[in-house]
Amino acid sequence: MTSPYTSLALGIIGAGIMGERMMNAVLGQDGATVRIAALWDPAPAARERIAARFPGVPVVSDAAAVVAASDCVYVASPPASHLGHARAALAAGRSVFCEKPLAVDLAEARAFVAEAGSRGAVNFPFASSLGVATLAQWIAEGAVGTPQRLTIEVAFARWPRPWQEDAAAWLDAPQEGGFTREVVSHFLFLSRRLLGPLDGLDGHAVFPESGRSERAIDATFRAGGVPVLLRGRVGETAHDDHNTWTLEGETGAVRLRDWAIAERRGEDGRFAPAADAMPNERARPIALRRQLEGVARMTRGEPHALATLTEALEVQEVVEAILASRQA
């Protein structure tokens, strides 16, 4: 177990988009809360890219070497490999910080959560988002009064998004990919965290092209008893990625727009951003650094705000139920 007086040794498995973002977050720290102990990716080209771009990062020969060098292992590989790496880390006495979803098989995910206990967490950055903290404060102060309805809308010009094209082989495959797993899951977590348990699902997904991920979803459910309407579409907007999470109540409404911008509805019916709101490009690195602080606390066995394995499993249950109700 890492000492509170030393930096956490974080190992990274997977050098894709998220692995590289986490490396940048570690290297962008003001202090030494976390250091990169080792990195491995199965693709030689990926390892070479990281070695050239981040010469100070120890690139190792296999996943076992990452586990051996680390206090905590960050699993940022494609979903089908998550549990194999996570179990290896836990077996060696390490903690685990995993990308979502936990697994591609729900039964396997349930079994893992039962055996892992509190030794792991999942990277839902909304747990450390400044915009979400503003929403939570407004809600606590009575900005919406008694919540009456929640609307979640996500839209993409195409899927995968342009910056994800290198990972299209799995991101656009129905077994592991799709925007419901990759994007909607974050907003389901946000709903669970701010409002309560998710239940009462009725939804479906549209898969118009064989061998590719969904292009539309519609669902209704409840979050802490609040009715939720969820809508997701590919190809009905010019935006690469546009989303809103809007909570309305008897006295007002608040929303999170485009991942990061907290907004409150005024008397004129228009939404206005918080004074300190910032776009996701600026907000995301801050949230990831705050996530790293949570990873250090989790590994030391201290209280933290990261998404628990149980919360992540509840989100995955809803995601997979939507995707299982297929329409051609």
Alpha-carbon distance of 134 to 93, in angstroms, equals 36
Q: Where in the chain is the domain with CATH 3.40.50.720?
A: 8-123
Q: What is the DSSP secondary structure assignment for residue 71, as one 8-state letter? A: S
E strand map for 70-215? 72-75, 95-98, 120-122, 147-156, 198-206
Q: How confident is the model at residue 2 (pLDDT cuts 50, 70, 90)?
A: very low
pTM to 2 decimal places: 0.95
Q: Say if residues 179 and 206 touch (Cβ distance below 8 Å).
A: no
User: Beta-carbon neighbour count of residue 327 at 10 Å?
Assistant: 12
E strand map for 107-191? 120-122, 147-156
- Count Cβ neighbours within 10 Å for each residue of 124-148 and write b for 16 or more, e otherwise: bbbbbbbbbbbbeebbeeebbeebe
At 216-252, the pLDDT tens digits run 999 999 999 999 999 999 999 999 999 999 999 999 9
At 52-76, the pLDDT tens digits run 999 999 999 999 999 999 999 999 9
SS3 track for 2-44: CCCCCCEEEEEECCCHHHHHHHHHHHCCCCCCEEEEEEECCCH
pLDDT of res. 328:
59
Q: What is the DSSP secondary structure assignment for residue 99, as one 8-state letter? A: P
Fold of 8-123: Rossmann fold (3.40.50)
- When computed from its CA atoms, the radius of gyration of the chain, rounded to whole angstroms, is 19
SS3 track for 202-258: EEEEECCCCCCCCCEEEEEEEECCEEEEEEEEECCCCCCCEEEEEEEECCCEEEEEC
pLDDT of res. 6:
76
The angle that helices 309-324 and 185-194 make with each other, rounded to 10 degrees, is 130
- Give the type of residue at 42: P
Residue positions counted in the chain: 328
Nearest to 229 by CA among 214, 217, 237, 238: 217
**Which position has the token pair 């988009």?**
17
Q: Say if residues 86 and 75 touch (Cβ distance below 8 Å).
A: yes
Nearest to 147 by CA among 229, 221, 226: 226
Q: Does domain 127-285+314-327 have CATH number 3.40.50.150?
A: no
Q: Where in the chain is the domain with CATH 3.30.360.10?
A: 127-285+314-327
At 119-143, the pLDDT tens digits run 999 999 999 999 999 999 999 999 9
